[in-house]
């Protein structure tokens, strides 16, 4: 579905991606993981046509989009959606207007028809009560779901997620991760998830690519990432492994302390 | 050298923006509801302040004129000279200066904030041409509404000027109007209209241009607003001189 071949990209004189290659298969969740500043978000910007690579080839759904013009990109983007790291909701519009933006302004559907479709989708995502709120009135998790709804409303074939769980509490992280998995399963959407948070993508990713210092290391499943003995992959996964081990040790010791002791008190009277 | 490059970048960027907008116009791609919304925001809401400013400007100029002309026995020329000054300079230039600060700054900060918060990227991700959605409605609204604002403002300056002249020198309205009729011709009205429309386009396109270039967070948006307003003020005076030289 998506082929990223030998891509080089730079900001000014600085190369941020060097010879990055990977493939994202249709209807699968491909995770791009790596430390902060490694170039993961740049990959998404290239995939959306917000910048051009200096070298290499990008093919989306069989079409070479490497050097197409902005007008052609607008056509390609109709089969794509993106959930930005900070959601990027239009802050002067309500939730209803944000989600209904594409059907009203791009597909030119009248608002009375758009409203019904939007409310139906918001109900599925647990946001029907918030349709008339502004983004500033929403929590981080709600904003992410609205951003997802804004892309889902036009049923894209491809969805890109830029750090979808960053800044969210554990419960909301799980909710968003489940949504990503559901989108792939229910709607057959090809998903690319950029994240530095291994635990959140561990359950949902079908394939993992490590991006480190602008270079790519295609790995395989999340399990293979943890077991990989390539030094760079092992260093990234190792840091997470240590953190999770330490957390689990703490959790185990707390749970042992909280386990009920043998009863010595008299039984309560009825 | 850096300033020269920036000036050339500015003229190049504005020219490219104007060309893109022209192509959209020729293709008939104007969203009327977006345009109407901007006409209210940029135009209707700017009428009161513009009238107020021109009232004061008209009064001040009449204050200076009326006294001097009355001493020379030429009180009857007050109306004509005031209207000439209003049409040639006060209405187009003062309105443009005021609106470059009021609506120019608002447009730059709005677009700049959208840029730094990735809302512009979100627009592109939703297959939307930002010139069609953001720039064109604002430029068209400015070009349509600023001349209308100028008309209201001009009336404010005219009547405030008459009132000042009347209070100062006992000038009658009939004398005020007769002076205007004898000194002001159709070409002066046309010059005023041409300047208003041209300045409107420059103000809004410059504001949009600097908004799209904002970077570096909130401070960057602030810098873009300042640059936009300063360049607008400068360009208004430059184009004022050019248009006056061509049309006079």
pLDDT tens digit string along A69-92? 999 999 999 999 999 988 999 999
Q: Any CB–CB contact under 8 A between A99 and chain B? A: no
CA distance A223 to A232: 16
Min Cα–Cα distance to chain A from B3, Å: 20
Q: A218-222, B53-57, B143-147: which has the minimum mean pLDDT?
A: A218-222
Q: Any CB–CB contact under 8 A between A33 and chain B? A: no
Average pLDDT of chain B to the nearest whole number: 92
**Closest to A74 (Cβ–Cβ): which among B117, B118, B129?**
B129
CA distance A67 to A29: 26
Q: Any CB–CB contact under 8 A between B125 and chain A? A: yes
**Higher-confidence residue: A77 or A125?**
A77
Q: What is the pLDDT of residue B24?
A: 94
- Number of Cβ atoms within 10 Å of the Cβ of A57: 15
| DSSP-assigned beta bridge partners for residue B28 | none
Q: What is the pLDDT of residue A110?
A: 94
What is the rounded end-to-end Cα distance, in angstroms, of chain A?
68
CA distance A162 to A166: 9
Q: What is the pLDDT of residue A269?
A: 41
Residue B6: half-sphere exposure toward Cβ, Cα within 13 Å:
8
Average pLDDT of chain A to the nearest whole number: 87
Q: What is the pLDDT of residue A124?
A: 87
At residue A252, does pLDDT exceed 90?
Answer: no
CA-CA-CA-CA torsion for B98, B104, B110, B115, nearest 10 degrees?
Answer: -150
Instruction: Name the residue ranges covered by the structural domains of chain B.
Output: 2-247
CA distance B168 to B196: 31
Query: CB A90 to CB B122 under 8 A?
Result: yes
> In this structure, are residues B132 and B31 in contact, taking their beta carbons and an 8 Å threshold?
yes
What is the rounded end-to-end Cα distance, in angstroms, of chain B?
34
Min Cα–Cα distance to chain B from A157, Å: 13
> In this structure, are residues A76 and A32 in contact, taking their beta carbons and an 8 Å threshold?
no
Q: What is the pLDDT of residue B19?
A: 95
Domains present along chain A, CATH in parentheses: 2-257 (3.40.50.300)
> In this structure, are residues B43 and B141 in contact, taking their beta carbons and an 8 Å threshold?
yes
* Residue A193 backbone zone (phi > 0: left; psi -120 to 50: alpha; other: beta): beta
Q: What residues of chain A lie within 8 A of the CB of B119, using their CB?
A: 88-91
Q: What is the pLDDT of residue A261?
A: 54
Q: Any CB–CB contact under 8 A between B126 and chain A? A: yes
At residue A47, does pLDDT exceed 90?
Answer: yes
Q: What is the pLDDT of residue A260?
A: 60
CA distance B61 to B154: 13
Q: What residues of chain A lie within 8 A of the CB of B122, using their CB?
A: 82, 84, 88-90, 150
Is the four-CA dihedral A138, A144, A145, A149 of positive or negative sign? Answer: positive
Q: What is the pLDDT of residue A190?
A: 93
In chain A, which residue's Cα lies nearest the Cα of B20? A71
Mind listing the pLDDT tens digit for each residue in B3-46? 888 889 999 999 999 999 999 999 988 999 999 999 998 888 89
Q: DSSP assignment, residue B77?
A: G
CA distance B231 to B213: 14
Contacts of residue B248, defined as CB under 8 A and 6 or more positions apart, other chains included, come to: B191
Q: A50-54, A226-230, B105-109, B210-214: which has the minimum mean pLDDT?
A: A226-230
Q: Any CB–CB contact under 8 A between B127 and chain A? A: yes
Query: CB A77 to CB B125 under 8 A?
Result: yes
- Number of Cβ atoms within 10 Å of the Cβ of A263: 7
Q: What is the DSSP string of chain A?
A: -EEEEEEEEEETTEEEEEEEEEEE-TT-EEEEE--TTSSHHHHHHHHTTSS--SEEEEEETTEE-TT--HHHHHHHGGGEEEE-TT----TTS-HHHHHTHIIIIIS---HHHHHHHHHHHHHHTT-GGGTT--GGGS-HHHHHHHHHHHHHTT--SEEEEESTTTT--HHHHHHHHHHHHHHHHHH--EEEEEES-HHHHHTT-SEEEEEETTEEEEEESHHHHHH---HHHHHHHHHHHHHHHHHHHHHHHHHHHHSPPPP-SPPPP-
């Amino acid at each position: 579905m998506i082929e990223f071949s030998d891509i080089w990209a730079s900001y000014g004189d600085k190369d941020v991606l060097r010879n990055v290659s990977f493939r994202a298969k249709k209807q699968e969740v491909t995770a791009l993981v790596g430390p902060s500043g490694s170039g993961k978000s740049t990959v998404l910007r290239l995939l959306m046509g917000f910048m051009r690579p200096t070298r290499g080839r990008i093919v989306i759904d069989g079409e070479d989009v490497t050097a197409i013009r902005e007008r052609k990109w607008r056509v390609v983007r109709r089969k794509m959606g993106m959930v930005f790291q900070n959601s990027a909701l239009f802050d002067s519009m309500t939730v209803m207007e944000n989600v209904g933006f594409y059907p009203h302004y791009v597909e030119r559907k009248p608002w009375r028809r758009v409203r019904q479709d939007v409310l139906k989708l918001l109900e599925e995502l647990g946001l029907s009560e918030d349709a008339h709120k502004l983004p500033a009135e929403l929590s981080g998790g709600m904003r992410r779901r609205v951003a997802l709804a804004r892309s889902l409303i036009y049923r894209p074939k491809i969805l890109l997620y830029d750090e979808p769980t960053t800044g969210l509490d554990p419960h909301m992280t799980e909710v968003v991760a489940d949504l990503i998995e559901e989108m792939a399963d229910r709607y057959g959407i090809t998903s690319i998830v950029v994240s530095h948070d291994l635990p959140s993508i561990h359950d949902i990713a079908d394939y993992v690519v490590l991006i480190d210092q602008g270079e790519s290391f295609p790995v395989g499943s999340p399990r293979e990432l943890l077991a990989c003995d390539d030094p760079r992959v092992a260093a990234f996964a190792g840091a997470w492994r240590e953190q999770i081990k330490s957390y689990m040790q703490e959790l185990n010791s707390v749970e042992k302390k909280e386990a009920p002791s043998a009863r010595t008190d008299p039984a309560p009277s009825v | 050298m850096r300033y020269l490059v920036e000036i050339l970048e500015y003229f190049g960027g504005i020219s490219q923006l104007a060309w893109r907008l022209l192509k959209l116009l020729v293709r008939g791609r104007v969203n009327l509801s977006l345009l109407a919304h901007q006409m209210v925001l940029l135009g209707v809401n700017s009428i009161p302040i513009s009238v107020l400013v021109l009232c004061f400007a008209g009064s001040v100029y009449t204050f200076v004129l009326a006294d001097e002309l009355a001493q020379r026995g030429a009180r009857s020329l007050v109306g004509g000279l005031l209207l000439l000054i209003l049409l040639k300079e006060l209405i187009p230039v003062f309105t443009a200066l005021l609106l470059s600060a009021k609506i120019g700054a608002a447009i730059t900060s709005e677009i700049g904030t959208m840029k730094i918060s990735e809302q512009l990227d979100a627009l592109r991700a939703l297959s939307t041409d930002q010139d069609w959605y953001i720039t064109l409605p604002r430029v068209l609204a400015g070009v349509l509404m600023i001349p209308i604002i100028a008309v209201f403002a001009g009336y404010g300056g005219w009547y405030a000027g008459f009132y000042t002249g009347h209070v100062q020198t006992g000038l009658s309205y009939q004398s005020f109007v007769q002076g205007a009729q004898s000194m002001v011709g159709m070409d002066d009205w046309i010059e005023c209209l041409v300047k208003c429309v041209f300045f409107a386009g420059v103000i809004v396109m410059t504001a949009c241009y600097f908004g799209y270039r904002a970077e570096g967070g909130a401070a960057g948006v602030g810098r873009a607003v300042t640059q936009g307003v300063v360049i607008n003020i400068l360009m208004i005076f430059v184009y004022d001189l050019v248009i006056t030289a061509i049309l006079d």
